[in-house]
């Protein structure tokens, strides 16, 4: 299961984990002399794509940012992706968006633990198990602040507004991602690749305020169905 935001099991707080084509025209236009980055992109025949999509080539670009506009049924979520921090992750996300992998999909998980408040999306199957039919390596953060009052000293703060990848273990990134609604305490095992802009946080807050469906009031599908109607990237 892909949880983080592949399921986070945390001590007394019982916090959950975060789990869970072709290169863009802009990247293909780069000079062939520029070496591609090795992202460790590997097909996953045991986990076929939840929606048909080609496996991407490794990217050439390691700098620059991408503006992504997500239109949802509750409002817009604009985001800025940063290639400098996570070129492979940004490349894969843009690739999936360009192939409309995320369009008309529901965010399947909302958490409301004291130390984990996120919305998890990116699985067209809506089961928390779906992915793009490939995986790639981690690009883990090194600049997150330590979580206060953590006796292990291992947890870090994923700040409100962070965009990060869910996974099912080391180097198993696929399509599922999570949006951090409030500062969350996690081990730094999840690639950070972007930031949610203020307008997007308002939309995220609206979804979170609707609560969680099911028996567990802290972890489950959002009460307010959260549909990603369209995900549009634009490099700059």
Q: What element of type H or E holds 33? A: none
Tell me whether residue 113 is in a domain: yes
Q: Which residues contact 12 (CB under 8 A, 6 or more apart)?
A: none
Tell me whether residue 61 is in a domain: no
In whole angstroms, give the CA distance from residue 236 to residue 98: 16
Does residue 25 or residue 88 have the better pLDDT? 88
In whole angstroms, give the CA distance from residue 50 to residue 63: 30
Q: Is the pLDDT confidence value at 30 over 50?
A: no
Q: Is the pLDDT confidence value at 11 over 80?
A: no
What's residue 155's pLDDT?
Answer: 98
Tell me whether residue 111 is in a domain: yes
What's residue 35's pLDDT?
Answer: 84
Mean pLDDT of the chain: 89
Q: Is the pLDDT confidence value at 4 over 80?
A: no
Q: Among 137, 133, 68, which residue's Cα sits nearest to residue 103?
A: 68
What's residue 143's pLDDT?
Answer: 97
Q: Among 144, 47, 143, 138, which residue's Cα sits nearest to residue 92?
A: 138
Tens-place pLDDT, residues 171-206 = 999 999 999 999 999 999 999 999 999 999 999 999
In whole angstroms, give the CA distance from residue 115 to residue 113: 5
Residue 52, token pair as written in the block: 């048909």
Does residue 57 or residue 236 have the better pLDDT? 57
| Model pTM score | 0.89
Q: Among 101, 97, 94, 103, which residue's Cα sits nearest to residue 28?
A: 94
Q: Which residues contact 209 (CB under 8 A, 6 or more apart)?
A: none
Tens-place pLDDT, residues 119-172 = 999 999 999 999 999 999 999 999 999 999 899 999 999 999 999 999 999 999
Tell me whether residue 180 is in a domain: yes
Tell me whether residue 62 is in a domain: no
Would you say 37 and 58 are in contact if contact means Cβ atoms under 8 Å apart? yes
Query: Which residue do the tokens 């409100």 mark?
Result: 160
In whole angstroms, give the CA distance from residue 3 to residue 13: 16
Q: Is the pLDDT confidence value at 7 over 60?
A: no
Q: Tell me the mean pLDDT in the region 71-97.
A: 98
In whole angstroms, give the CA distance from residue 192 to residue 82: 9
> What CATH code is carried by the domain that includes residue 101?
2.40.100.10
Tens-place pLDDT, residues 205-225 = 999 999 999 899 999 999 999
Tell me whether residue 94 is in a domain: yes
Residue 15: pLDDT band (50, 70, 90) is very low
Total domains present in the chain: 1
Domain that holds residue 196: 3-28+37-56+67-235
Angle, CA of 107, 199 and 72, to the nearest 5°: 30
Residue 19: pLDDT band (50, 70, 90) is low
- DSSP state, residue 199: H
Residue 28, token pair as written in the block: 């293909």
């Amino acid at each position: 299961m892909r949880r983080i935001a592949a399921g986070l099991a945390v001590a007394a707080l019982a916090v959950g984990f975060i789990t869970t084509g072709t290169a863009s025209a802009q990247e293909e236009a780069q000079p062939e002399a520029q070496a591609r980055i090795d992202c460790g992109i590997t097909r996953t025949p045991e986990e076929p794509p939840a929606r048909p999509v080609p496996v991407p080539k490794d990217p050439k670009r390691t700098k620059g940012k991408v503006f992504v506009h997500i239109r949802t049924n509750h409002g817009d979520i604009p985001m800025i992706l940063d290639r400098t921090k996570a070129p492979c992750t940004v490349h894969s996300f843009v690739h999936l968006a360009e192939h409309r992998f995320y369009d008309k999909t529901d965010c399947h998980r909302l958490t409301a633990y004291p130390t984990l408040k996120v919305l998890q999306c990116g699985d067209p199957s809506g089961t928390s198990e779906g992915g793009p039919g490939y995986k790639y390596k981690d690009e883990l953060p090194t600049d997150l602040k330590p979580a206060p009052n953590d006796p292990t000293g291992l947890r870090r703060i994923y700040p409100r507004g962070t965009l990060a990848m869910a996974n099912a273990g080391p180097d198993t990134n696929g399509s599922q991602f999570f949006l951090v609604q409030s500062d969350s305490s996690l081990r730094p095992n999840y690639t950070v690749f972007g930031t949610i802009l203020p307008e997007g946080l308002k939309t995220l807050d609206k979804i979170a305020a609707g609560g969680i469906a099911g028996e567990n009031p802290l972890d489950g599908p959002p009460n307010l169905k959260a549909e990603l109607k369209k995900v549009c990237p634009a490099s700059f």
